[in-house]
Amino acid sequence: MLLLIKIIIPVSCLVALLDYFGIVALVAEHFAPVMKLFGLPGEATISLLLGFFINIYAAMGAIPALTLSPRQITILAVMIGICHELPVETVICSYTGLRIPFSVVLRLITAFSAGILLNLFYGMVLGG
Amino acid sequence: MDIIILLYETIVSTLVSMGKIALILVPVLIMIELARHFKIIELLTGKIKGLLKFISLPEEAALPLFAGIFFGIVLGSALIIEYSREGFLQKRDLLLIGIFLSISHSVIEDTFLFSVFGANPVIMITTRTILAVIITRGAAYIFDHFSNKKVA
């Protein structure tokens, strides 16, 4: 739990500062076309990147700063769930003989396709 | 001044959402520890032969696979690494476990955490499991096909 506090509070402060100085908006603008494939706003890029490189808790530190619908949170959650904490987990997985670059690419591709598929699925079911 | 107020507000709202997370996470972590202690996974392994057969893994693979799925890669790593060293499993099977776990692991913790923020837990678990099964099955097919060719 202490570990959680050590990660989440600095991360959420960092995100708030990045937001304050307009960096979030800048990143969001660049990635907005990609994120649109997943039905997510550009701002969610921050949470996704934090999840990829640090871990799930860091990604969550960035979520309260975003305003997301339940649909968007579910999509984001699945994508981060598949692809997170790459620096640590790919090393552990490499013990099974799964090479690290392969494992990174596999998880990124799966996460992105899951995002696209879920977005399509939601679009079909809810018609939106 | 603005920045200080901003940081203060961020810390307060973060603490609130962390309180919510803790309320859910602590019982879940206790349950996971208890499950580990009482070796629940070992009891379950007999009942999931069907799934294992579908992704073409032997029964011995159940333990590391399910430890990873339920406890997460970091907690289950002890088992995973032990299995890779002891040579209980063939290289191919070990690799398939790695692929499956890459996509679907610590499903319990992750799902609970994100449901705090309003994510749909059913959709999360189903998507990850289905993708993991399909990709592992595909990898098994490619792997067997490829290595057969090499031998012949």
Tell me what pLDDT residue B150 has.
Answer: 46
Residue B9: C-alpha distances to residues A36, B13, B14, B42, B95 (Å): 30, 6, 8, 47, 47
What pLDDT score was predicted for residue A74? 92
Task: Check B127 against A78: CB less than 8 A apart.
Answer: yes
What range does the domain containing A72 cover?
2-126
- Could you tell me which of B134, B101, B117 has the C-alpha nearest to residue A77? B117
Three-class secondary structure of residue B103 per DSSP:
helix
Q: Which residues of chain B have pLDDT under 50?
A: 150-152
What is the structure's pLDDT at A73? 92
Quick one: pLDDT at residue B45?
67
Distance, in Å, from the CA atom of A86 to the CA atom of A93, rounded to the nearest integer, reads 10
Largest Cα–Cα distance of chain B, in whole Å?
74
Asked whether the beta carbons of residue A106 and residue B99 sit closer than 8 angstroms, the reply is yes
Question: Residue B9, exposed/middle/buried by CB under 10 A (0-12, 13-18, 19+)?
Answer: exposed
**ipTM attached to this prediction:** 0.79
> What CA–CA distance (Å, rounded) separates A66 from A52?
18
**Chain-chain contact of B18 with A17 (C-beta, under 8 angstroms):** no
How far does A76 lie from chain B, in Å, by closest CA? 9
Q: Give backbone dihedrals phi and psi of B104, rounded to 5 degrees, phi first.
A: -125, 100
Contact across the interface for B98 and A70, Cβ inside 8 Å: no
- Chain A neighbors of B91, CB-CB under 8 A: 97
* CB neighbour burial string for B71-99, b if at least 16 within 10 angstroms, e if fewer: bbbebbbebbeebbeeeebeebbbbbbbb
Relative orientation angle of helices B91-103 and A86-93, to the nearest 10 degrees: 160
Pairwise CA distance, residues B57 & A96, whole Å: 14
Pairwise CA distance, residues A96 & A98, whole Å: 6
B9, B14, B21: residue with CB nearest A9: B14
Separation in Å, CA A70 to CA A57, A65, A66, B7, B116: 19, 15, 12, 26, 11
- Distance from the Cα of B151 to chain A's closest Cα (Å) equals 20
Domain ranges of chain B: 2-151
How many helices (H) and strands (E) chain B has is answered by: 8, 0
pLDDT, residue B151, reads 40
Residues of chain A with pLDDT under 50: none
Output the six-digit token pair for B77: 């790593």
Per-residue confidence (pLDDT) for residue B152, from 0 to 100 = 34
Chain B contact for A59 (CB, 8 A cutoff):
no
Whole-number pLDDT of residue B117: 84
**A93/B98 touch (CB, cutoff 8 Å), yes or no:** yes
pLDDT of residue B46: 66
Could you tell me if A77 lies within 8 Å of chain B, comparing CB atoms?
A: yes
